[in-house]
Amino acid sequence: MIKFKTFIIIFLIFNIGFAIDESKDTSAIAPKTNNIHKKAIWASAVIPGWGQSMLKNNTKSEIMLWTDVGIWLFYAGFSWYGTSLNQDAKVFAGVYAQANTNIKSNKYFSVLERYDNAEEYNNDIRREARELYPDDTLAQKNYFLKYGYFGDSIWDWGSDSLRYVYWAKRKSARTAITRAGLFLAGALLNRFISAIDCAFFTSDKRNTLGIAPSSDQTGIGLAYRF
């Protein structure tokens, strides 16, 4: 949390410095309400850096865009790695515990992490059934048949060490997928920062040199807009 607050403070100082350098008064850091700025804000909310590009601030545009590219590359990498580890764990369970790798339920593969074999798991289900329906044997049976694993869905690790290897693979997969989720959140944050930057900290650099009426004397003259 402290690092995140530090990042926000540095970001604000950096952008305020940009704004002051681009203008001699505080109006440069006020929200821009003209049409191009509104479009730029929405553009940056879609693709970071797009709005800065529309306002001809190419330096900021490239920083925002390449940051976004990097975030998505990391997201894709961790997502692929997590999925690959999950698949590897399933194959491992199929080979060493004779588990049914065609089952789609994630619960099944989670159970394989905690129980050495299907019989051990089914015994727990029996106990749960008796606790839930102490006076109803039919309900106990139905509960057992519904939540137990039988037939081609049974498994047997044979040793705790094999189950531990499987657990480690699944744990690594969960860590990778969690990190992918953090980068996805980072992509959303990057869009928010880019949009805020367009609204408050990026001035319009398009057509800065032009012709305008002269306030000092009658006529017109060249004007440079900061």
**Cα separation, 173 vs 163, whole angstroms:** 15
pLDDT for residue 38: 83
pLDDT for residue 61: 85
What's the gap between Cα 8 and its chain centre? 19
What's the one-letter identity of residue 127?
R
Mean pLDDT by 10 residues, the chain (226 residues): 49 46 44 68 86 83 90 96 95 96 93 95 95 93 94 94 96 96 93 86 61 49 43
pTM: 0.66
**Cα separation, 86 vs 177, whole angstroms:** 10
Taking CA atoms, 219 is separated from 163, 193, 224, in Å, by 87, 43, 16
**Cα separation, 45 vs 50, whole angstroms:** 9
pLDDT for residue 64: 87
Closest CA to 83 of 200, 199, 177: 177
Annotated domain spans of the chain: 2-117+155-224
**Cα separation, 161 vs 159, whole angstroms:** 5
pLDDT for residue 67: 92
Cα four-point dihedral sign 113, 117, 118, 124: negative
Q: Phi/psi of residue 149, each to 5°?
A: -120, 130
pLDDT for residue 99: 96
Strands, E assignment, 116-219? 209-213
Q: 């970071």: which residue's tokens?
A: 48
Asked whether the beta carbons of 115 and 121 are under 8 A apart, the reply is yes
Strands, E assignment, the chain? 209-213, 220-224
